[in-house]
Amino acid sequence: MMQLVHWLLREAILGVSITWCTIFSSLGQSTQPSVVPQNVIDTSAQPLVFAPGVVSTAFEEAAATFSPDGNTVYFYQGTIYNTVCYSKKIDGKWAKPEVAPFSGQYSDWDPFLSPDGKRLFFVSSRPQDDKSLIKPKKKTHLWYADHLQGDTWSAPHLLDAPFNLDSVNNFAPSVSRSGTICFCSRGRDGHAGMGSYYAKRLGDHYDTPKLMALNGNEETQDPFIAPDERYIIFVSGDNELYISYRQGDGWATGQKLGPQVNNGDSIWDPTVSPDGKMLYYTSARVKGFYKRDPKGPALNYDGLEKEMGSIFNGRGNILMIPVNLKNNAN
């Protein structure tokens, strides 16, 4: 026991960003020790706002997902209706976003681009057939559009069963290179709370979605699965980010990422860049970015209006921070 205490103290002094947890795979409890924690986020790293004033604005933006070359980003933005948008990097700078050709009519959000860039998954409450074009569904389902050429995409298609059930909402799809899809739902298959699920691609269809016990009995959501399925980053606990490593046919119990990202603010929609070097997530974080000058004069209305129209007005922005999660090529 004392050896374990000394080990934990040593790891804390070294600044390891994630904690030791026992294994609990999606197939059951394991008595084996968990994988050795990794320094996912350097202790000196600090989050930055992604593309401030272009992608991250005074409105709410979330769920950044990138083309394989990293030069196009898809995300959602909105106030009344969420809308899938995209921006291209031109001469090293992100250009003014445009609405994705399949979005802008109904509420669409949580886009995720497959690792090969050929299919974009998203969540929508849009009607499922031409007979009910003016009557969106009460529940949100998983949809996809296929890339055709350039900036053009196919018409959206509802992802076939067994994902979409009339009785539950689906959120936050992510897809691995082999086609395994992860998402989250509340109250699905007898599970009372919010849970994360995965389903393997079996030839021309998907296996039945299975609940992942990524953090014991805690609720989990917004699971991002790595292209090589080596890890999953998800939200759990007090709206904090965790990482779970592959263990056999399942994943180990989640290990909390460091205080650089888990600073007490709500966090959602984590993703990792195609090269595994940058973690993106959405947060309404203001601390460390902006605060009123308590020694300055009180704001007049023009000053208040300027503050409310800034990117640090309490709405979600896309943040980014370097990570050590290089993906395997195959």
Which residue, chain included where needed, has tokens 């609405």?
Answer: 99
User: What span, in angstroms and rounded, lies between the C-alpha atoms of 42 and 324?
Assistant: 8
Q: Determine how many CB atoms are found less than 10 A away from the CB of residue 74.
A: 21
Report whether pLDDT(93) > 80. yes
The band of 26, judged by pLDDT with boundaries at 50, 70 and 90, is very low
| The token pair that represents 44 in the structure block | 């000196």
> Which one has a higher pLDDT value, 170 or 35?
170
Residue 188: C-alpha distances to residues 125, 128, 287, 313 (Å) = 17, 20, 36, 35
SS3 state at 175: strand
Buried b or exposed e, range 182-216, using 16+ CB within 10 angstroms: bbbbeebeeeeebbbbbbbeeeeebeebebbbbbe
Report whether pLDDT(19) > 60. no
What is the predicted pLDDT for the residue at 198?
94
User: What span, in angstroms and rounded, lies between the C-alpha atoms of 123 and 156?
Assistant: 11
Report whether pLDDT(132) > 70. no
Q: What is the mean pLDDT of the chain?
A: 85
Q: Report yes or no: 25 and 249 within 8 Å, Cβ to Cβ.
A: yes
* pTM across the whole model: 0.85
Report whether pLDDT(218) > 50. yes
User: What span, in angstroms and rounded, lies between the C-alpha atoms of 292 and 42?
Assistant: 30
> Which one has a higher pLDDT value, 174 or 32?
174
What is the predicted pLDDT for the residue at 59?
93
User: What span, in angstroms and rounded, lies between the C-alpha atoms of 235 and 220?
Assistant: 6
State the architecture of 49-322 in CATH terms: 6 Propeller (2.120)
pLDDT digits (tens, 9 = 90+) for 45-72: 999 999 999 999 999 999 999 999 999 9
User: What span, in angstroms and rounded, lies between the C-alpha atoms of 194 and 246?
Assistant: 21
The band of 134, judged by pLDDT with boundaries at 50, 70 and 90, is low
User: What span, in angstroms and rounded, lies between the C-alpha atoms of 275 and 271?
Assistant: 12
What is the predicted pLDDT for the residue at 262?
93
DSSP 248: T
What is the predicted pLDDT for the residue at 320?
97
Lowest mean pLDDT among 139-148, 228-237, 244-253: 244-253
What is the predicted pLDDT for the residue at 328?
65
| The token pair that represents 181 in the structure block | 């899809």
Sign of CA dihedral 241, 245, 251, 255: negative
∠ at Cα 140 (137, 146), nearest 5°? 100
Average pLDDT over residues 27-42: 52
Which residue, chain included where needed, has tokens 């083309």?
Answer: 67
Sign of CA dihedral 91, 93, 98, 100: positive
Return the amino acid letter for 51: A
User: What span, in angstroms and rounded, lies between the C-alpha atoms of 255 and 33?
Assistant: 13
Q: Determine how many CB atoms are found less than 10 A away from the CB of residue 243.
A: 27
Average pLDDT over residues 212-233: 94
User: What span, in angstroms and rounded, lies between the C-alpha atoms of 297 and 288?
Assistant: 21
Length reported for the chain: 330
Q: Report yes or no: 183 and 163 within 8 Å, Cβ to Cβ.
A: yes
Domain boundaries, the chain: 49-322
Residue 183: C-alpha distances to residues 105, 106, 147, 317 (Å) = 23, 21, 21, 22
Lowest mean pLDDT among 9-23, 73-87, 118-132, 275-289: 9-23
- For residue 250, which of 101, 13, 30 has the smallest C-alpha distance? 30
What is the predicted pLDDT for the residue at 162?
83
| The token pair that represents 214 in the structure block | 């990524």
Report whether pLDDT(5) > 80. no
Q: Report yes or no: 171 and 121 within 8 Å, Cβ to Cβ.
A: no
| The token pair that represents 129 in the structure block | 């057939």
Report whether pLDDT(138) > 80. no
Average pLDDT over residues 24-49: 61
SS3 state at 232: strand
What is the predicted pLDDT for the residue at 43?
85
What distance separates the 2 farthest-apart alpha carbons in the chain? 68
pLDDT digits (tens, 9 = 90+) for 267-277: 999 999 999 99
Sort strands 48-49 and 170-175 into parallel, antiparallel or unpaired.
unpaired
